[in-house]
Amino acid sequence: MTIQVDPQISVTAAKGSPEEKAARYLEQGNKLFAQGEFEKARVQYKNAARLKPTAAEPRYRLGLVEEVENNFLPAFADFLHAEEQDAHYHP
């Protein structure tokens, strides 16, 4: 599987604090998800999770990607991880 990365996304996400970068990765992931670009969205959400490993939102969003791709066990694991970080995110 080959993933092509939009250079604009990489350059945009490279600026700012870790929190700002994570927020941009999430925003870009959400746009890609809405466009049906699930693999690209997954990359952006993983980038956000790498920068903020205790944040619930990136893991929840990864769960949504897994769910839409019918990968239910990884989706449930991501949802549970998100819930452990913030009870607002429950499966």
- Are 13 and 33 in contact by the 8 Å Cβ rule? The answer is no
**Alpha carbon distance 72, 77 (integer Å):** 9
User: In a structure prediction context, what are the per-residue pLDDT tens digits for the chain, which is 91 residues long?
Assistant: 455 556 555 555 467 999 999 999 999 999 999 999 999 999 999 999 999 999 999 999 999 999 999 999 999 999 999 999 999 987 7
DSSP 16: S
**Alpha carbon distance 39, 62 (integer Å):** 10
Residue type, 78: D
pLDDT at site 6: 60
Residue type, 23: A
pLDDT at site 68: 98
- Are 33 and 64 in contact by the 8 Å Cβ rule? The answer is yes
